[in-house]
Structure 1
């Protein structure tokens, strides 16, 4: 093969991204330089944080420029190695996979996928970024106490489905917010006590109050927007809000986030509102992965995947995930 179809950023979206914001280019086969690996892509992950990286606005991670090759999490097989710690045939994971069948990644960003007790792609799901995000956002940042009510938005998504099950395992009272009745049924199967369909709700504040009769102690916020407002208006004294994602703002990312002001509510409840970035917990990854894998092997942790097929589907998969049309962790299999 001498060509390598690759997705590049064609334009910055001004509202909800569309596939037209990307271009599929037929690029030459890449070659690894010193300190790099040439890898055959097997799996790609698309995640909500990518919305921030296709905007010129300042973000916690550097964004893509027009014409840049799109990068994200992926798993692949090493074809050639210019780094002493890696050999052809090994399976590696990195956050620097290009959206292309063959990609060059810095060896310094690569880790071997060594877990044989789970499918390979689990390293992009419950044993990877989504699972670790759920684990640390709930157990470390929120610091819940047994019996507390935990409200989780995007509850059937990659992070939410794990967070709800960890809450159940730890003796908490998880309540789901999701966008369809089918997704809520899945959440109940996972152990969520109750659920709210936010797309059918005529009064989210009242629906959260009904689902959480003792109030909300912890809110794992994967969405922002009206769900955030409803959670805040039901927050208990000394409640904790962990801001994990803002996917509800995907169609107006570069505009001011206009909504209710919660300063008085925060003052009265003495609530803690804290942003979450997974990288802050890197030193504890191994222990968390051990817990997540053990729960999975014990039958306590289940996940659902939404898998698109082929390199041509990658931007489609990202857009449908940003719209909430996916069901479970969104992956692309090459």
Structure 2
């Protein structure tokens, strides 16, 4: 039995930020969905994922993906329930992972749209985890660690933003591979969590070491034999400090540079360190590697279900909370994966 009409609410991208994103960059509007066409499904989004990459797309500057267009629904990953279907591969009641955006309902054509709609099994883990440890952030961690850093037992690995959705998975997977893992995070609470709950060997509170010299010195104390692999989520002086401590032929994977999401440039101040260490530095975007998603997603979901991969979520309630939650994410206020609960 059809439930039409559906009352949708959505945030549009209303204006480009000058530097720091502000809440007036978004516009809330309502729409009525009265039908879907053959080949389409209608998804009721339950959770919306907020991620740093969204800031990069809120700009006309060259980026790895097309800029978010004005007056369009803000992009974002979601999980939810199919409530209407005219597609033979989906039926009402199924749970899906998709790119439903900042809205309550998502009307999609799975056969034609590049939105990577996937059915997910929520019998063993909560659906929200498919937006975090067993979703895009977890797969990002899995790819950067396994395909770029390829750490070996006994090596020292450092990961920035260690308590976040990506960094927390990187460190746990690296520990399972026998590495010594040092995290970098902001504040004693996050550092305590990284060591005591996630099992990292050490964690540096970068707020206590506010420049390259002091942070580099602390890294030398915790990694006297140098750093073999570095998973970069931040950039800025944190990256400079790590580069100074790299071992010969170290590997660096760059998946994010959140230090520059307020519009500032973030130059590397000592590129000579790259030459001296003969480091390999690889930037990557996980959406370029969709072939590994099924394997990574299955492994991560199994690890969460078995309790060997720990996750933490920051959840804001209601679609209307999304802009402020996103601004907080860019300022490092979240603790773990930032989500918006829509149901």
- Smaller-chain TM-score bracket: over 0.9
Preserved CA contact (<8 Å) 1:148 1:173: yes
The answer as to 2:181 corresponding to 1:177 is no
Residue 58 of structure 2 is aligned to residue 51 of structure 1: no
2:320 aligned with 1:312, yes or no? yes
1:285 maps to which residue? Answer: 293
Residue equivalent to 1:205: 216
Q: What is the deviation of 1:115?
A: 4.1
Query: Partners in 1 of 2:34 and 2:326 — Cα distance?
Result: 24
CA drift of 1:280 comes to 3.5
Deviates more, 1:105-114 or 1:66-75: 105-114
**Structure 1 residue 266, shift from structure 2 partner:** 1.8
Specify the SS of the correspondent of 2:262: helix
CA 1:85 to 1:272, structure 2 compared with 1: closer, same or farther past 3 Å? Answer: same
Question: Within 5 A, what are the aligned runs for 1:255-334?
Answer: 256-262=265-271, 264-334=272-342
Residue of structure 2 in register with 1:113 after alignment: 120
Gaps of 5+ in 1: none
What TM-score comes out, normalization by structure 1 length? 0.94
> How many aligned residue pairs are there?
330
Write the distance in 2 (CA, Å) between the matches of 1:256 and 1:155: 23
Instruction: Give the secondary structure class of the aligned counterpart of 2:207.
Output: coil
The worse-fitting range, judged by mean Cα deviation, of 113-122 and 192-201 is: 113-122
Give, in whole Å, the separation in 2 of the partners of 1:12 and 1:303: 33
Report the equivalent of 2:159.
Answer: 152
Gaps of 5+ in 2: none
Q: What does residue 17 of structure 2 align with? A: 13
Matches within 5 A, 1:208-223: 208-223=219-234
Instruction: Determine the C-alpha separation between the residues in 1 that align with 2:44 and 2:320.
Output: 16
Report the Cα distance in structure 2 between the residues aligned to 1:32 and 1:275, rounded to whole angstroms. Answer: 40
3-state DSSP of counterpart to 1:84 = coil
| Superposed CA RMSD | 1.6
CA contact (8 A) 2:232 2:253 kept: yes
Deviations 1:268-295 (A, max 9, x none): 2111000121134322223223332333
1:238 alignment partner, one of 249, 259, 262: 249
TM-score by length of 2: 0.92
Q: Distance in 1 between matches of 2:142 and 2:149?
A: 10
Is the deviation greater in 197-206 or in 70-79? 197-206
Pair 1:29-2:33 in alignment: yes
Separation in structure 1 between the aligned mates of residue 312 and residue 334 of structure 2, nearest angstrom? 10
Q: Distance in 1 between matches of 2:280 and 2:50?
A: 30
Q: Is the 8 A contact 1:239 1:270 kept in 2?
A: yes
> How many Å separate the matches in 1 of 2:15 and 2:208?
33
CA distance in 2, matches of 1:283, 1:162: 20
